[in-house]
Structure 1
Amino acid sequence: MYQVVMLNDDYTPMEFVIVVLQEFFSKDRETATQIMLKIHLDGKGVCGVYPRDIAATKVEQVLGAAHKAGHPLQCLSEPVE
Structure 2
Amino acid sequence: MRASSTPARRAAAAIHFRNEIEKAEAAGASRDDMLLHLTLSDVSQIKRDRSLALTDINFAGETMRFLGVKVEQGGVTESVLIRPT
Given the two structures, how large is their TM-score scaled by the length of structure 1? 0.29
Larger radius of gyration: 2
Q: Between Structure 1 and Structure 2, which shows a larger proportion of helix residues?
A: 1
Given the two structures, how large is their TM-score scaled by the length of structure 2? 0.29
